[in-house]
Structure 1
């Protein structure tokens, strides 16, 4: 399958009109803050689901069932993301990026705030877990339109020579948000007694999200619509059915984004979700050692993401992403084999976490924002990102950690290495076979729209 161009211009994607340095800086901050809130919520909810929600919202169940139900509510947020990505992506291509991003920020922020205010099972019975699930669904829907929209805003406002750097900022916000969520819950648990923490202390980090929400809303409300969308609207070139258009015209780009995202999120969640339980169950570490490993992994990731994004502005997006996937495939054999079981030094565990999630995932995630944006035509870029990325995100986040847990109880780490190697090589193949808009063949009249053949 190949893609060629035949009718209707895609020039807005490269339009330089309407950009200013001030708007570009504000767009970058607005994109960064939104994904920071998204992953602050993700990390906070994941941690709270493990240590708090079973006793607060599912106290009518056995301890095992309560924990299972609490973690299940966390998974619900991923299941709705492809649906939310389709709906919000389509809206973003029809009514504008700015409006949808204000909506996604509000939905995520308000839902997170309400979790912090939600009465427990002891107060309102089974209405408590039912409302918790509803709020988690709203968080998932809001998050489904956040990364794609934030990346589009950052890239469509960015100067050509800085698209990789500025397009990486949503990824950096995701990594820092994860650190903030984990640390905020840990801080509250260390400041108050266990009884106070389970009663009201865990709620404080959720309520704190209103600060990030307020700042993000202030930034986004004062930000103009992106130059690319304004040009598209001026030319009356807005698609009425962007989802159908992207499926019909750019199936290759959709499949590319989905498989690349499965690779990126699969590797990332292997380190920041599965390796936490692996450190506890197979390596015999306590909570502090595991938590330090998770923080080191995410901080290293946050620092290196913009560096790899900037590097892609110099050497190209594809070579950097290809390096990230190949590095991850090789490191799966080198790094994981060093974790031999009980007796492994914590420092070695932390180094593996930093080099695996920090270097490998950062090299993929850094340039990926600009790269996947450049795969799609502007008329349906938000829809393409919403459908392709969120489907890949749900599959990578759900499948890889579950398979890894099953493989971890074998006597060897070889099968864990095989798993990450396969996921990495899938992402590598998708990247190598992908083509950005600039590689499309345009006919001489300059009117172009991609058509799959």
Structure 2
């Protein structure tokens, strides 16, 4: 692996830390990781909620409800298509200049894109230019988020005490659940306090403009965090890779790269089914009211956020691979019962099913995912490796899921069983791939393979 000699930024001798300094450092790491990912995912999935409820009317008003929803979800999917580009760019930067500064940059870009969406003219004002500008801003969102998840995971995991890798690795995942809950809650509040005309005219914009305040807070916190000890050690030992993407794709990393992307298929399809597609499905196919559905998703997201640290504790005790396997397998088993409960068209059963599959089952494997994927690569290419696995798989595993499910239900004449079968297949693929993954030890720059 090619290396280049550079001076490590923010290098600290952790062995000289006092207990108070260590606790203060870890508190800052937790705050930077949790706040940052909450804000970034709030921004990204705010778009998803708007795509389900608003954008098909505001930006695609001349289309039928079905076609408008498809077009709205298509712009949603574009964010996932461009995320690998951001993953490659920011992964390279993160492996070359450090995790800390890269994460500050991704937050600024994401916040700017989201705020501009909040002031974007509608199709009624500027015609076809409106959806084009919306698409461009969605591209910028996807590009920024491409470098966010991997960096946030590494910020937590590479700072964590060895015996608490799982708990720290679950922290960025909590941010995702809180970001989704915050987005759906804000939309629900706006719809309750405003009438339909006011909500469609300006109400939805408030949710996007709130991001400006959140981004400023998150940016300040992230600037206070130290560079990770793992990256500092690699830099000090002159072990940085000159071409991280090449090294991620070539042996000995090829196997884990391919298996990691397949292992993520089930998780990606699950999140965007229950957190995104379920909103449109419940309001359009099941004729459930929008606000109660948003509240249901919010409740499930909060339950997930509360249970993710439990998944982290289980990960520390039994290992990330085992917990991820059990969780993905459980997801595959409950897909059909969940859609059966959806079919009752009862808000109560819809909420119960969503809390079980999204709040409980998803939390089990999602809490282990960050630590598992961080163990796929050595430190010098870890940012790029995590970005490649998470963002490239996001195209088919996440971004296309609402489109695929909408199309399958349309082909089946409104029946959800083809869609449920597709989700079950993604779970089977993920179980097989995860079982074949070979983990690495995460102890700073010294990497050894473990069974």
Q: Please indicate, yes or no, whether the TM-score normalized by the shorter chain is above 0.5.
A: yes
Q: Name the CA distance, whole Å, in 2 between partners of 1:152 and 1:272.
A: 25
Q: Name the CA distance, whole Å, in 1 between partners of 2:248 and 2:77.
A: 28
Is 1:130 matched up with 2:106?
A: no
- Structure 1 pair 270–71 and aligned structure 2 pair: CA distance change class (3 A): closer
**CA positional deviation for 1:448:** 7.1
Is 1:362 matched up with 2:353?
A: no
**1:314-325 alignment, distance < 5 Å:** 314-325=317-328
Contact 2:440 2:447 in 1 (8 A): no
Q: Which residue of structure 2 aligns with residue 443 of structure 1?
A: none
Match of 1:422 among 421, 425, 432: 425
Contact 1:35 1:177 in 2 (8 A): yes
Q: Name the CA distance, whole Å, in 2 between partners of 1:139 and 1:338.
A: 34
- Structure 1 pair 134–336 and aligned structure 2 pair: CA distance change class (3 A): closer
**CA positional deviation for 1:195:** 2.8
Task: Name whichever of 276-285 and 213-222 sits farther off.
Answer: 276-285
| Structure 2 SS opposite 1:311 | helix
**CA positional deviation for 1:124:** 4.4
When the two structures are superposed, what TM-score results if normalisation uses the length of structure 2?
Answer: 0.87
Q: Which residue of structure 2 aligns with residue 272 of structure 1?
A: 275
Q: Which residue of structure 2 aligns with residue 388 of structure 1?
A: 389
Q: Name the CA distance, whole Å, in 2 between partners of 1:320 and 1:447.
A: 25
Q: Which residue of structure 1 aligns with residue 312 of structure 2?
A: 309
Contact 1:337 1:414 in 2 (8 A): no
- Structure 1 pair 209–364 and aligned structure 2 pair: CA distance change class (3 A): same
Q: Which residue of structure 1 aligns with residue 249 of structure 2?
A: 247
Q: Name the CA distance, whole Å, in 1 between partners of 2:189 and 2:402.
A: 27
- Structure 1 pair 206–344 and aligned structure 2 pair: CA distance change class (3 A): closer
What's the C-alpha RMSD, in Å, of the aligned pairs?
2.8
Q: Which residue of structure 2 aligns with residue 176 of structure 1?
A: 178
**CA positional deviation for 1:366:** 0.2
Q: Name the CA distance, whole Å, in 1 between partners of 2:447 and 2:313.
A: 30
Contact 1:254 1:388 in 2 (8 A): yes
**CA positional deviation for 1:197:** 2.4
Task: Name whichever of 316-325 and 188-197 sits farther off.
Answer: 188-197
**CA positional deviation for 1:52:** 3.1
Contact 1:54 1:63 in 2 (8 A): no
Q: Name the CA distance, whole Å, in 2 between partners of 1:417 and 1:352.
A: 14
Instruction: Give ranges in structure 2 of 5+ residues lacking alignment.
Output: none
**CA positional deviation for 1:230:** 0.9
* Residues 25-75 of structure 1: per-residue CA shift (max 9 Å, x gap): 21121111222112211232122234333454455x445565554443222
Q: Name the CA distance, whole Å, in 2 between partners of 1:356 and 1:165.
A: 21
- Structure 1 pair 119–270 and aligned structure 2 pair: CA distance change class (3 A): closer
| Structure 1 SS opposite 2:95 | helix
Q: Which residue of structure 2 aligns with residue 25 of structure 1?
A: 27
Match of 2:205 among 195, 203, 206: 203
**1:48-447 alignment, distance < 5 Å:** 48-58=50-60, 61-62=62-63, 68-248=70-250, 249-339=252-342, 341=343, 343-408=344-409, 409=412, 414-438=417-441
Task: Could you list the structure 1 runs, at least 4 aligned residues long, displaced by more than 6 angstroms after superposition.
Answer: 446-450
Q: Name the CA distance, whole Å, in 1 between partners of 2:158 and 2:269.
A: 28
Task: Name whichever of 310-319 and 155-164 sits farther off.
Answer: 310-319
Q: Name the CA distance, whole Å, in 1 between partners of 2:167 and 2:431.
A: 21
Q: Name the CA distance, whole Å, in 2 between partners of 1:328 and 1:104.
A: 31
* Residues 377-418 of structure 1: per-residue CA shift (max 9 Å, x gap): 000000101111101122111344333334433586554443
| Structure 2 SS opposite 1:285 | coil
When the two structures are superposed, what TM-score results if normalisation uses the length of structure 1?
Answer: 0.87
